[in-house]
Amino acid sequence: MTTMDARSMGTSVRRIEGPDKVTGTATYAGDSVADGTLVLHPVQAGVARGEITAIDTAAAQALPGVVAVLTHRDAPTLGDTGDPEHRVLQGTTIHHRGQYVAAVLAEHAEVAAEAARLVVVTVDENPSTTGFDPDAQAYTPSALANGQPPDSGVGDPDAALAAAPVVVRASYATPMEHHNPMEPHTTTATWVDGRIEVFEATQGVESSRQTLATLFDAEVVVHASHVGGGFGSKGLHAGTVLAVLAARTVPGRPVRFALGRRQMFETVGYRPATVQHMALGASRDGRLEVVTHDVVGATARYKEFVEPAGGSTRSMYAAPHRRTSHRAVPLDLDGPTYMRGPGEAPGSFGLECAMDELAVALDLDPIDLRVRNEPEVHPENGLPFSSRGLVECLHAGAERFGWSSWDRTPRRRLVDGWWHGVGVGCGTFPTLRFPGSAAEITFTGGRYVVAIGAADIGQGARTVLTQIAADALGVDVGSITVEIGSTQVPVGSIAGGSAGTASWGSTVVEAADRFRDKYGENPDDGDHADAATPDNPWAGEYAMAAYCAQFAEVAVHADTGEIRVPRLLGMFGVGRILNPTLGRSQLQGGMVWGLSMALHEESVVDPRFGEVINHDFAGYHVASNADVRVVEAEWIDEDDPYINPMGAKGIGEIGIVGVSAAIANAAYHATGVRVRSLPITCDDFLTSGLL
C-alpha cells in the first residue's frame, strides 16, 4: 500500500480563480443578476412560539412596485425531506422567532423591505423556553449529529474515579455561536416550464438539488461557481425554499433572496451551547486511570441537532476506564447545525483544559502528561491508527515555539504591565471519505477536462483537484481544466466534514486510472472515462484521523484584564499537504477561528423573546485584523497510505480544534486565573481578585 507519486501535489500552485476573485469578477450567487430580477424580502415571526391567526397583506399589496405577497394560505404543499426546517409556509405554527411567515416580491429592494413591514401578522403566542439552562430537564438523544451513539463507556469509571490518587473534576461552558460567512446566504431562482434553475450559496450543489427536487417535485439545476465561505452553515435552509416558492409565482423571472446580516442569526443555524462536566483520574506519575466527559447541550425543540462534544474524548488518550455521554435540552429556537470543528471545537475546550488542570495538580509538564497517555490503539474500538502524529506534533511544536524556555509556574512574567503566559491544547478530527461522487474525464482540444460537482467555498477545491488530476494522469497542471460547482457536471458530495478533497480527489484518481487503462498515454479527441467514488478497503481496519498540537502565548493586562494573543503556533499531523500555500492559509484561518472562539464569539439570547440580541457585527465580534498577530501553521512529515490515494487528511476543521483550550491554558499560566467558560473576557480576570 503506497500513496501515489506527487509532482504537482505538494507544490504551491496559485489559486486558479485568483484573478477573478481579486478583481471581483468571480460570480457568487447574488452576482448572477439578470434584467428584471425581482427582490424578495421576508416577513418573520416576532415570537418564539405561537399560532398565526391572521395575516393582512392588503397594505403591502397596494404598494407600487410590489409584485406578489406570499403567505401559507397560497403556498403549495411541499414534498417531505424529513427536515422540519424545509416546511416553509406550510402551516400556522411558529417554532422559533425569525421563522418566515410571509414574503414580499418586488421590483426593488427598498420597496420589498417597506412592503414587508406593512404585512400585519396576528399571532396567538404560546409559552416558550429559549434560554439554555444546563440543569433543566434534558433527554438522551437517539444519536449525535454525526450519527454516533450518545453514550460510550469502557470499564467502571465511577469506581475508578473513587480510587484514583489524583482527580480533577471541573465543568466547562461553550456558548451559542454563529458562523457568519462574509457572503450571506443567497439564492437567485428562476422557474421555467417546470424546471427550477438556482444560483445558490451552498456547500453542495447536489444535496441542494436533491432537496429542492423532493420539495417541489420538479427538475432542478443548481449552480455555485463561487461560494463566499460556509463553515457548515451553507446547507439548504428555509430561505432557499422561500425563494423558490416565490419564483414559482412569477414563471420566467429570476427572484433573488439575499439574507441580511441579522437574518444570519435567525435562520441558518449555529453552534449550540454546551456545558461539559469533565473528570480525570490519574496515578501520581501521570497515567490516566479514567476519563469521563458528560455533555449537556442545547438543541431545538422542532429540529434535533446534538453537538458531539464528547466525541474526540473517545479517541484522544489512553485510560482503562472511560465514559462519554450527551444529553440535550430542547429550546424554542431555530435549528443548530454543524459549525467548523463540530463536536471537536467545543469538546476540545473541555478535555484539553481539564488535561491542563491535571498537569497542574500533578506538577507535570502538560506536554509530558499527554505523551504519557498516548494510546497504542484506539482506546474504545481497539483499531490500530492509520497514522497518529499527536506526540510528534507536541514535540515539534514545543521545539519551534520555545516551550522549554518558559517557567511552568503561573504568574511569573510581567512585561510592561502585561502578564504573559503560554499554553498548549491538542485536537483531532476524523479523516472521512463520503461516498456518492462521480468524476468524468474528457480529452478535448489537447486538454483533459475533469468534471465533478465539487464546491469551492474558499478551501481551494478547483486548484487542488487540478493538481490531483494532473498527478493522477501524469501530465502538467496546465493541461487540466477542472469543472465544478454545478449539477450540470457529474455529482459531487458536499464540501464539509473535512472530507471534500478526500472524497472528490479519490474519485478523480479513480477516473484518471480508468482513463489511462482505456486510452494509454496518447488519447484521441473526445476520449472519456468516468468513475464513482471507490470504497476505502481499509475503512474498517484502521482508525483514521488528523491530529494537532496548538501553542498559544497570551498577554493579560494587569490593570484592565484585557486579553490578547500575541502568538499562535499550530503543528499538524495531516498526512500529505496537497498545496502548502493554500493549506497554510486554511489552517491559519481555522486557528484564527479558535482565537475568535476563545476571546470574542457569543450569541446572546434574550429569553423573553427568543432573539439573539447581538445579531450583527457590532454586537457579535468575529476576529478582525488587529486581533490577529503572529499565527503560524506548520506540519510534520506524515505518510499515510490507508486513507486515500493522495495520502491527504482533511484540513478544514483541524485548524480550530484545541486553540481555545491552548489560549485558556495560557491565560491561566499568565495570571493564575482559570477561566472555564468561553469567551474569555476582561471581567473573568477583574472579578478573580487576582489581578
Partner 1 sequence: MSTTIPLTITVDGEPRDLDVDPRTTLLDALRDRLGVTSTKKGCDHGQCGACTVLLDGRRVLACLTLAVAKDGADVVTANGLATDGELHPVTEAFLANDAYQCGYCTPGQICSAVGAIDEARQGMPSAVTSDLTGEVTLDRTEIAERMSGNLCRCAAYVNIVSAVEEASRA
Annotated catalytic residues are 653
Nearer to ligand FES, 30 or 311 (CB): 30
Nearest distance from C-beta of residue 272 to ligand FES, angstroms: 24
Nearer to ligand FES, 153 or 260 (CB): 260
Nearest distance from C-beta of residue 255 to partner 1, angstroms: 13
Alpha-carbon distance 6 to 674, whole Å?
Answer: 46
Binding span for partner 1 by CB under 8 A among 202-210, 275-283, 455-463, 472-480? 455-463
Alpha-carbon distance 152 to 419, whole Å?
Answer: 41
* 458 binding ligand FES? (CB under 6 A): yes
3-state secondary structure of 263: helix
* 624 binding partner 1? (CB under 8 A): yes
Nearer to ligand FES, 22 or 690 (CB): 22
Nearer to ligand FES, 229 or 580 (CB): 229
Q: Going by C-beta distance under 8 Å and a sequence separation of 6 or more, which residues neighbour residue 600?
A: 621, 622, 623, 627, 679
Among candidates 417, 366, 335, 419, which has minimal Cα distance to 145? 335
Residue 65 binding partner per list ligand FES, partner 1, none, with a CB distance cut-off of 5 to 8 Å that depends on partner kind: partner 1
* 109 binding ligand FES? (CB under 6 A): no
Nearer to partner 1, 513 or 627 (CB): 627
Nearest distance from C-beta of residue 345 to ligand FES, angstroms: 19
Binding span for partner 1 by CB under 8 A among 53-61, 92-100, 226-234, 413-421? 226-234
3-state secondary structure of 342: coil
Instruction: Mark residues 128-167: x for contact with ligand FES by CB under 6 A, - for none.
Output: ----------------------------------------
Residue 623 binding partner per list partner 1, ligand FES, none, with a CB distance cut-off of 5 to 8 Å that depends on partner kind: partner 1
Neighbouring C-beta atoms of residue 683, cutoff 10 Å: 9
Q: Going by C-beta distance under 8 Å and a sequence separation of 6 or more, which residues neighbour residue 234?
A: 181, 185, 201, 202, 203, 227, 268, 457
Nearer to partner 1, 261 or 411 (CB): 261
* β-bridge mates for residue 202, sequence order: none
Q: Phi then psi for 245, rounded to 5 degrees?
A: -55, -40
* 72 binding partner 1? (CB under 8 A): no
Nearest distance from C-beta of residue 458 to ligand FES, angstroms: 5
Question: Which grid coordinates belong to 624?
Answer: 478582525
Which long-range contacts (C-beta less than 8 Å, at least 24 apart) are formed by 134-142? Answer: 134/173, 134/275, 134/296, 134/329, 136/329, 137/329, 138/296, 138/327, 138/328, 138/329, 139/327, 139/328, 139/330, 140/326, 140/327, 140/328, 141/299, 141/304, 141/306, 141/326, 141/327, 141/328
Alpha-carbon distance 625 to 182, whole Å?
Answer: 14
Helices 580-599 and 344-362, interaxial angle, to 10°?
70
Neighbouring C-beta atoms of residue 259, cutoff 10 Å: 21
Nearer to ligand FES, 204 or 458 (CB): 458
Asked if residue 395 lies in contact with residue 199, where contact means CB atoms within 8 angstroms, the answer is: no
Instruction: Mark residues 181-220: x for contact with partner 1 by CB under 8 A, - for none.
Output: xxxx------------------------------------
Asked if residue 507 lies in contact with residue 438, where contact means CB atoms within 8 angstroms, the answer is: yes
Residue 445 binding partner per list ligand FES, partner 1, none, with a CB distance cut-off of 5 to 8 Å that depends on partner kind: none
Among candidates 540, 546, 459, which has minimal Cα distance to 494? 459
Alpha-carbon distance 683 to 691, whole Å?
Answer: 11
| DSSP-derived pairing of the beta strands 288-300 and 274-282 | antiparallel
Nearer to partner 1, 442 or 596 (CB): 596
* 260 binding ligand FES? (CB under 6 A): no
Nearest distance from C-beta of residue 497 to partner 1, angstroms: 18
**Residue 134, phi-psi category: left (phi > 0), alpha (psi -120 to 50), beta (remainder):** alpha
Q: Count residues contacting ligand FES (CB under 6 A)?
A: 3
Residue 658 binding partner per list partner 1, ligand FES, none, with a CB distance cut-off of 5 to 8 Å that depends on partner kind: none
Nearest distance from C-beta of residue 600 to ligand FES, angstroms: 16
> What is the number of the residue whose Cβ is closest to ligand FES?
182
Q: Cell numbers 456545558 correspond to what residue?
A: 275
Residue 54 binding partner per list ligand FES, partner 1, none, with a CB distance cut-off of 5 to 8 Å that depends on partner kind: none
Question: Which grid coordinates belong to 614?
Answer: 447581538
Beta strands in 274-386 (DSSP E): 274-282, 288-300, 321-331
Residue 216 binding partner per list partner 1, ligand FES, none, with a CB distance cut-off of 5 to 8 Å that depends on partner kind: none
Nearer to ligand FES, 17 or 304 (CB): 17
* β-bridge mates for residue 550, sequence order: 425, 570
Alpha-carbon distance 419 to 413, whole Å?
Answer: 6
Nearest distance from C-beta of residue 340 to ligand FES, angstroms: 13
Contact set for partner 1, span 5-34 (CB under 8 A): 14-15, 17-28, 30-31, 33
Q: Which of 622, 672, 682, 688 binds partner 1 (CB under 8 A)?
A: 622
Nearest distance from C-beta of residue 234 to ligand FES, angstroms: 13
Asked if residue 471 lies in contact with residue 5, where contact means CB atoms within 8 angstroms, the answer is: yes
Residue 338 binding partner per list partner 1, ligand FES, none, with a CB distance cut-off of 5 to 8 Å that depends on partner kind: none
* 260 binding partner 1? (CB under 8 A): yes
Nearest distance from C-beta of residue 616 to partner 1, angstroms: 6
Contact set for partner 1, span 107-126 (CB under 8 A): 108-111
* 229 binding ligand FES? (CB under 6 A): yes
Q: Going by C-beta distance under 8 Å and a sequence separation of 6 or more, which residues neighbour residue 577?
A: 10, 583, 635, 648, 651
Residue 111 binding partner per list partner 1, ligand FES, none, with a CB distance cut-off of 5 to 8 Å that depends on partner kind: partner 1
Instruction: Mark residues 176-205: x for contact with ligand FES by CB under 6 A, - for none.
Output: ------x-----------------------
Asked if residue 578 lies in contact with residue 639, where contact means CB atoms within 8 angstroms, the answer is: no
Q: Which of 582, 597, 612, 675 binds partner 1 (CB under 8 A)?
A: 582
Residue 626 binding partner per list partner 1, ligand FES, none, with a CB distance cut-off of 5 to 8 Å that depends on partner kind: partner 1
Query: Which residues in 315-334 are b (16+ Cβ under 10 Å) and which e?
Result: bbbbbebbbbbbbbbbbbbb
Find the distance separating the first CA and the last CA of the chain, reported in whole Å: 57
Neighbour-count burial of 428, counting CB atoms closer than 10 A to its CB (0-12 exposed, 13-18 middle, 19+ buried): buried
- Residues of this chain that interact with ligand FES (CB under 6 A) are 182, 229, 458
- Residues of this chain that interact with partner 1 (CB under 8 A) are 14-15, 17-28, 30-31, 33, 37, 39, 64-65, 108-111, 179-184, 226-229, 231, 258, 260-261, 457-460, 581-582, 585-586, 588-593, 596, 616-618, 622-626, 628-631
